[in-house]
Structure 1
Amino acid sequence: MTEALHTPGFSAPVRDAQRVFRAVLEAMSRPARPHPVDPGVAPPAPLGPLAGAIVLALADAQTPVWLDPALTRDEAAARWIRFHTGAPIVADAWDAAFAIASCPSAAPRLDELSAGTDEEPHLSATLVIDASDARPTGDLVATGPGVDGSLAWDGAGLPAGFLPQWRENGQRFPRGVDVLLAGRDGIVGLPRTTRLENAEAR
């Protein structure tokens, strides 16, 4: 075993996983706003602490995980995830239940991820983006379930060209990809039912 393999996971696996899982649920039920949570882990770089905590809380032996090239280059992050979750690492993003990007620019396009089926939309992928160093991308407005009227948001953590992809993703409902941003201020959830627009376009 390597040093990376021994990098600790949650100190109290059940309790800590439940704590992060609750934060993810809050983020998905109240989209486009950060939900603070203590990651409690220090995964191998370039996987950030909060993104790593989300993976540990959500992934298991039945959930294939895709990692971007930076995360697979020296295999430390992959070994850490496999050791602590048992999740298989897949080479094709389409086969993943969770796709992990170490920064916004490393995120796959949404149409490269499984959107589930009309009969089983819950089999779609979730994209997790490490947005801890991300800057605002623009003045956006979020609407939809979980948003009281509308909500202004700076879009920090979104990849370039995301809005057209997100509109297409929403048109596939009930199919579609969900997104979790592991930001500096907490987890930001974007369920497929959330609508995003440029503020100037409203």
Structure 2
Amino acid sequence: MSAMAFADPAFESQAAFRAILRAIASPGAIEPCGRGLKPPSPLSPAAAAAILTLADFETPLWIAPSLAEWGEAAAYLKFHTGAPLAASPRDAAFALLDLERDSLDLKSFAQGAPDYPDRSTTVVAETRSLARRPMMRISGPGVRGTAEIEFGPTPGDFLSQWEANRSTFPLGVDLILAHGAEVAVLPRSVRVTGGE
């Protein structure tokens, strides 16, 4: 394996986990994650850190075709996590895709079950930009008033997809946005609307 994962696995994975937890607790907050990590192209440090921290041998990982075609990136994640590769999005505990090259279809992922809402997919989406600007407004649990976020490219039907996803709470998909060495999280419980 040519690319190293965390230099200090215990410390760095804990730091990444705490960053993701802070981002979950404060939807719309942008947290540093994966600094110092040098994954193979085209993985960002943040996306790699999220998968390295959350996935393991018991959590099937689906990698979108645009990223799977980069064999080194897929091999890196599989080697360092031990996660089996899922045959389809619906079979995945975690999924990795690139919003610039892959379509986002939230309903294609595992939604959980009434007795086991945690059996849904957490989607890690690579973005080309991530900022606290008023493209979208977030409200709901963990948000005081509203929060603002902008990420791109944003699917044209994202707001309607997200409303459909949120409407089935506690079922639904959680979304981790990864850009460079930063993450933001949209938990399934929050409302996302167009900004001004």
TM-score for both structures, normalised by structure 2: 0.92
Aligned position for 2:80? 84
Structure 1 residue 126: Cα displacement: 0.5
Q: Which residue in 2 is equivalent to 1:62?
A: 58
Amino acid at match of 2:63: L
Distance change in 2, residues 1:157/1:58 (3 Å): farther
Matched AA of 2:174: D
Letter in 1 for 2:79: F
Q: Which amino acid aligns with 1:29?
A: A
Unaligned runs of 5+ in 2: none
The secondary structure found in structure 1 opposite 2:31 is: coil
In structure 1, the residue matched to 2:147 is 151
Whether 2:79 is the aligned partner of 1:73: answer: no
CA distance in 2, matches of 1:96, 1:109: 14
1:41 aligns with 2:37: yes
Q: In the superposition, relative to structure 1, how do residues 35 and 135 fare at CA in structure 2: closer, same or farther (>3 Å)? A: closer
Counterparts of 1:196 and 1:100, CA distance in 2 = 21
Quick check: 1:134 aligned with 2:123?
Answer: no
Q: Which residue of the partner structure matches residue 175 of structure 1?
A: 171
Q: Which segments of 5 or more consecutive residues in structure 1 lack a partner in the other structure?
A: none
Question: Whole-Å Cα distance in 1 between the matches of residues 195 and 99 of structure 2?
Answer: 24
Q: Is the 8 A contact 2:27 2:186 kept in 1?
A: yes
- Once residues 164 and 119 of structure 2 are traced to their aligned partners in structure 1, the CA distance between those partners, rounded to angstroms, is 18
The alpha carbon displacement at 1:102 in A equals 2.8
- Which whole-Å CA distance do the structure 1 matches of 2:158 and 2:43 have between them? 22
Identity %: 36
Stretches (4+) displaced over 4 A: 135-138
Contact 2:90/2:110, CA 8 A, preserved across alignment: yes
What is residue 17 of structure 1 aligned with on the other side? 13
RMSD of aligned C-alpha atoms? 1.9
- Shift of residue 6, structure 1, vs aligned partner: 2.8
Match of 2:192 in 1: 196
Cα deviation 1:42-71 (Å, max 9, x = unaligned):
111111111011110111000111111121
Equivalent-residue separation in structure 1 for 2:58 and 2:178 (angstroms) = 23
Structure with a larger share of its residues in strand: 2
Task: Quickly say closer, same or farther: Cα 1:175–1:110, change in 2 above 3 A.
Answer: same
Whole-angstrom distance in 2 between the partners of 1:185 and 1:19: 13
How far apart, in 1, do the equivalents of 2:158 and 2:101 lie?
10
Classify 1:184/1:49 alpha carbon distance in 2 versus 1 (closer, same or farther; 3 Å): closer
Compute the displacement of 1:78 (Å): 1.4
Q: Deviations over 1:52-106 (max 9, x none)?
A: 1111011100011111112111421111111101001123111011110133441
Higher helix share: 1
- Per the normalisation by structure 1, the TM-score is 0.89
Paired positions, count: 195
